[in-house]
Chains A and B, each alone.
Chain A
Amino acid sequence: MDFTFLYTSFLRLIVGIPLTLQLAFSSIGLGLVLAILLAAMMRSRLLPLAWIADGFVFVFRGTPLLVQVFLIYYGLGQFRPYLDEMGVWWFFRSPYYCALLALLLNTAAYGAEIVRGGLQSVPHGQIEAARAFGMSGFTLYRRIIAPIALRQALPAYGNEIILMIKATSLVSTITLMEVTGLAHKIISETFRAFEVFFVAGAIYLAINFTVTRLIALAEHWIAPDLDQASRPIEVGKLSH
Chain B
Amino acid sequence: MTNLTPSEILLALVLILPLVSAGVSFIIPERYSWATSLTAPLLLLVTAILSFVLFFTSEDLQVSAVWFSIGATEIPFSLLLDAASRLMIVVVSTVSFLVHLYSMGYMGYDQKITRYFGMLGLFTFSMLGIVLANQLILTFVFWELMGFSSYMLIGHWMEKPAAARAAQKAFLFNRIGDAFMLIGILITWIQQTSGNDPFWQTTGVICIFLGVVGKSAQLPLSFWLPDAMEGPTPVSALLHAATMVAAGVFLLIRINPLLTEPALTVIAITGIATALFGAVCALNQFDIKKILAYSTVSQLGLMITAIGLGAKDAALLHLFTHAFFKAGLFLAAGSIIHALSHQPNNTLDVQDIRNLGGLRKKLPVTFMVFCVTGASLAGVPLLSGFLSKDSILTAAWNLSHPTTQFLFTALILIVSFLTVLYTFRMIRFVFLGNESQATLHESPWVMRIPMILCAVASSWLLVSLNPLHISGWFIHSFPGAEASAIASIISAVTVLIALIAAVLLYSKQTSPKTIVMLQNGFGVDSFYQRTIGSAVLYFASAAEATDKKVLDGFLHFIVYAHVSIAHGIAWFDQYIIDGVVDTSARLVKWAGSFTRSFQGGKIQLYIFWAVAGLIIFLFFVLI
Mutual binders A and B: no
